[in-house]
């Protein structure tokens, strides 16, 4: 995948550098980002959707200042979903006009932060936010362009925690209950807001293109009704993110190009049927850009064989750097980066180092019989891994390096123990 290959020494190589050398130089656990693959995914999206449409990288998948630079250089827009993500983007010099500001409960301070920065779009989630944003935009002397987030009532077949398009969702205004139309009327009456378009996001890690087509049809069908009821004409249709990626054998996601073609074709058909002008199409991919470009490296520690039961391979990270197996039963493949040419004949269970029985990274994977000191590489860990990492057991977060053309550069420094106590305070009465 990408620039990953096996070198003459039988080691995994990423971006022209041996993973074993990366582990030695930067330590483990280590997040490695394949710059060429990240950029290629951005480029494929941009080419597939063309210059009339917009590709908005969903920063929630993987964000730090260097990633913002790559996204900017590749000409994409950026979806931020909190004040922290917005701050990160601005710190990296990302052009505010190319930022979409998401979130189902933006705090007044976050809204002010977005208004002051001059973000291109707010994606407004509910009626309360609509009222609040109109008032704060007025205070800031701005007329803010917005999209209204709707729930189209589509069930995508994915894990229930990452399903978002159904009516019973904390996100968006349901079309079916009339609240979407009420929201549009309110937006049109808000003096400090300009309603540009409609947004929906039906879920994540989706392999079937039909729910995306269905979402486009439902949204444009609704846009047709809105035009009849109010005269407002949709300029921008944002269908969110959600395209799935390969994690384990059997996963068969559609190509970015097939996804784009399905969406663009459906939008063209739907507007023709309803006599609507062709809107600008916006998509917000996160996982399908960052996911395949990330590889996590661990060092094998203890190897514990319970005869006739299981071989546990313990690594120096775990659920704190990758919560997805524990949270979603997510599955991953793995390889020993220092022994790529050896037969992966031994079934093992990869366990993390957190004090939690559920901290199992991979329940069953075949490796050469592992020994302490081996470097375990877990691919497809670029999206929602670092982004969801935590300090359980006061484990410092791993470093992240960007690799390409034989270069490796730290883009997030490894947390130190001092970082862990940086915000701790001891009340004076507890000192002795």
Q: What is the DSSP letter of 203?
A: B
Distances (CA, A) of 288 to 265, 408, 414: 21, 23, 25
- Residue (of 61, 59, 6) closest to 386 by Cα position: 61
Distances (CA, A) of 425 to 333, 387, 417: 42, 26, 15
Q: Which of 15, 241, 254, 325 binds ligand LLP (CB under 6 A)?
A: 241
Q: How far is the CB of 385 from ligand LLP (least distance, A)?
A: 8
Please say whether the beta carbons of 148 and 124 come within 8 A: yes
- Residue (of 172, 163, 161) closest to 222 by Cα position: 172
User: How far is the C-alpha of 430 from the C-alpha of 432, rounded, in Å?
Assistant: 6
Contacting ligand LLP within 393-432 (CB under 6 A): none
Q: How far is the CB of 25 from ligand LLP (least distance, A)?
A: 29
* 42 is annotated as an active-site residue: no
Binding string, residues 52-91; x marks residues near ligand LLP by CB under 6 A? ------x-xx-----------------x------------
Which is closer to ligand LLP, CB of 204 or CB of 296? 204
Q: How far is the CB of 139 from ligand LLP (least distance, A)?
A: 26
Please say whether the beta carbons of 258 and 252 come within 8 A: no
Binding string, residues 300-329; x marks residues near ligand LLP by CB under 6 A? ------------------------x---x-
Long-range contacts of 360-366, Cβ-Cβ distance < 8 Å, separation of 24 or more: 360/325, 360/326, 361/315, 361/317, 361/318, 361/319, 361/322, 361/325, 361/332, 361/334, 362/325, 362/331, 362/332, 362/333, 362/334, 363/325, 363/331, 365/332, 365/333, 365/334
284 annotated ligand-binding residue: yes
Contacting ligand LLP within 272-301 (CB under 6 A): 284-288
16 annotated ligand-binding residue: no
Where does this chain touch ligand LLP (CB under 6 A) — which range of 38-46, 197-205, 307-315, 421-429? Answer: 197-205
Please say whether the beta carbons of 216 and 237 come within 8 A: yes
257 annotated ligand-binding residue: no
102 binds ligand LLP (CB under 6 A): yes
Which is catalytic among the residues 64, 68, 200, 355? 355
How many Cβ atoms are within 10 Å of 366's Cβ, its own excluded? 13
Please say whether the beta carbons of 61 and 290 come within 8 A: yes
Residue number with the shortest CB distance to ligand LLP?
241
Applying CB under 6 A, the site for ligand LLP has a residue count of 22
Which is closer to ligand LLP, CB of 26 or CB of 222? 222
Q: How far is the CB of 238 from ligand LLP (least distance, A)?
A: 8
Please say whether the beta carbons of 245 and 256 come within 8 A: no
Return the exposure string of 75-92: e unless at least 16 CB atoms fall within 10 Å of the residue's CB, then b: ebbbbbbbbebbebbbeb
356 annotated ligand-binding residue: yes
Which is closer to ligand LLP, CB of 361 or CB of 408? 361
Which is closer to ligand LLP, CB of 152 or CB of 240? 240
Which is closer to ligand LLP, CB of 77 or CB of 222? 77
205 binds ligand LLP (CB under 6 A): yes
Contacting ligand LLP within 327-346 (CB under 6 A): 328
Which is closer to ligand LLP, CB of 26 or CB of 212? 212
Sequence-distant (≥ 6) Cβ neighbours of residue 432 within 8 angstroms: none
Please say whether the beta carbons of 199 and 279 come within 8 A: no
201 binds ligand LLP (CB under 6 A): yes
Please say whether the beta carbons of 148 and 185 come within 8 A: no
352 binds ligand LLP (CB under 6 A): no
User: How far is the C-alpha of 418 from the C-alpha of 396, rounded, in Å?
Assistant: 9
Q: What is the DSSP letter of 163?
A: B
Contacting ligand LLP within 376-395 (CB under 6 A): 383-384
151 binds ligand LLP (CB under 6 A): no
Q: How far is the CB of 190 from ligand LLP (least distance, A)?
A: 22
Which is closer to ligand LLP, CB of 224 or CB of 286? 286
Residues annotated as catalytic are: 355
Q: Which residues bind to ligand LLP, rule: CB under 6 A?
A: 58, 60-61, 79, 102, 162, 201, 204-205, 240-243, 284-288, 324, 328, 383-384
What are the binding residues for pyridoxal 5'-phosphate? Answer: 242, 284-287, 384
What are the binding residues? Answer: 242, 284-287, 324, 328, 356, 384
């Amino acid at each position: 995948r990408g620039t990953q290959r096996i070198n003459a020494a039988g080691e995994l190589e990423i971006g022209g550098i041996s993973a074993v050398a990366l582990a030695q130089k930067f330590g483990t656990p280590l997040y490695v980002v394949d710059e060429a693959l990240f950029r290629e995914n951005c480029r494929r999206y941009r080419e597939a959707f063309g210059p009339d449409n917009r590709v908005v990288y969903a920063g929630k998948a993987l964000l730090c200042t260097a990633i913002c630079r790559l996204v900017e250089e590749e000409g994409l827009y950026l979806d931020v979903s909190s004040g922290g993500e917005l701050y990160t983007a601005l710190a990296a010099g990302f052009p505010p006009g190319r930022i979409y500001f998401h979130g189902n409960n933006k705090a007044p301070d976050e809204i002010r932060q977005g208004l002051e920065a001059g973000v291109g779009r707010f994606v407004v989630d509910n009626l309360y936010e609509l009222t609040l944003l109109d008032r704060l935009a007025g205070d800031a002397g701005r007329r803010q362009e917005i999209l209204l987030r709707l729930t189209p009532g589509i069930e995508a077949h994915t894990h229930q925690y990452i399903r978002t398009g159904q009516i019973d969702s904390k996100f968006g205004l349901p079309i079916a209950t009339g609240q979407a139309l009420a929201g549009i009327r309110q937006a049109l009456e808000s003096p400090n807001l300009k309603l540009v378009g409609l947004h929906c996001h039906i879920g994540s890690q989706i392999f079937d293109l039909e729910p995306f087509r269905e979402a486009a049809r439902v949204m444009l069908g609704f846009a047709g009704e809105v035009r009849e009821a109010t005269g407002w004409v949709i300029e921008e249709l944002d269908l969110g993110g959600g395209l799935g990626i390969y994690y384990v054998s059997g996963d068969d996601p559609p190509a970015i190009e097939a996804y784009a073609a399905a969406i663009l074709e459906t939008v063209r058909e739907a507007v023709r049927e309803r006599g609507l002008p062709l809107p600008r199409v916006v998509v917000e991919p996160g996982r399908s850009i960052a996911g395949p470009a990330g590889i996590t490296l661990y060092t094998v520690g203890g190897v514990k064989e319970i005869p006739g039961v299981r071989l546990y391979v313990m690594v120096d990270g775990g659920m704190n750097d990758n919560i997805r197996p524990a949270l979603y039963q997510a599955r991953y493949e793995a390889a020993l980066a220092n022994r790529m040419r050896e037969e992966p004949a031994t079934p093992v269970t990869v366990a993390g180092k957190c004090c939690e029985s559920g901290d199992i990274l991979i329940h069953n994977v075949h490796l050469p019989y592992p020994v302490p000191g081996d470097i375990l590489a877990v691919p497809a860990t670029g999206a929602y891994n670092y982004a969801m990492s935590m300090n359980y057991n006061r484990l410092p977060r791993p470093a992240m390096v960007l690799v390409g053309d034989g270069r490796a550069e730290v883009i997030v420094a490894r947390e130190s123990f001092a970082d862990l106590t940086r915000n701790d305070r001891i009340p004076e009465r507890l000192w002795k």
